[in-house]
Amino acid sequence: MNNPLQIKTAGITDSPELIDIEKPEQGLELHVGSNVFRNTNGVVKLQGKEQLVLETHPHPLALLLTMDLYDEEGTRVGHIRRNALSAHSAGRFTINVKASDEATPDDPPSVTVADRTTGHTVFEACLMQRRKIRITVGHFYTHKGELVTITPHYCRIGTGLTLFGDVAESRSGAAAIG
């Protein structure tokens, strides 16, 4: 069938209570500051380039981060692939991953990236529910050398763009910012 809603019938088909409708899996909901990107594929595009990807791992429940890290000149200084730092990134950055059996508000699975040179948190995200991810902290640069700042209240790129309270439907695509 080409219909995204698959229908299975159980027994007699003229009885509506016997039809089980299987819905396709929804995409990830990303909360970037106070902004919500619904039904994403986990990719975040910043200034037109895919810079980070968030995925969920089912057992144990964990967040997987893939991310390119740049400096203020726009030169790539680090790379993370599914929570593993590349060899040239390990001297500058640290990554802390917390997994658990389930996503609870008190102790959610999370991933945190810190810069060893400054001691600051570069990126932090946590899994609030099975398909809902909140990016709580961001202080990193885009491929164009623009500073990205994410707080619980807003997402800012450089001095020209600040998003707060926006809700966007991504239709199984990337969350595009800037």
- Residue 159 sits in which domain range? 27-177
The reported pLDDT for the residue numbered 1 is: 45
- Cα-based distances in Å from 19 to 1, 10, 38, 86: 16, 6, 28, 50
- Is residue 1 a part of any domain in this protein? no
- Is residue 9 a part of any domain in this protein? no
- Is residue 14 a part of any domain in this protein? no
- Is residue 120 a part of any domain in this protein? yes
- Is residue 4 a part of any domain in this protein? no
Contact 124, 136 (CB under 8 A): yes
Residue carrying structure tokens 């899994």: 127
Residue carrying structure tokens 């039809």: 19
- Is residue 77 a part of any domain in this protein? yes
- Is residue 64 a part of any domain in this protein? yes
Whether the full predicted model's pTM is greater than 0.85, yes or no, is no
SS3 105: coil
- Is residue 2 a part of any domain in this protein? no
Residue-wise pLDDT for 2-54, tens only, equals 555 544 445 555 555 555 555 555 799 999 999 999 999 999 999 999 999 99
Considering its fold, how many domains does the chain have in total? 1
Q: pLDDT tens digits for the chain (178 residues)?
A: 455 554 444 555 555 555 555 555 579 999 999 999 999 999 999 999 999 999 999 888 999 999 999 999 999 999 999 999 998 888 999 999 999 887 777 889 999 999 999 999 999 999 998 899 999 999 999 999 999 999 999 999 998 889 988 999 999 999 999 8
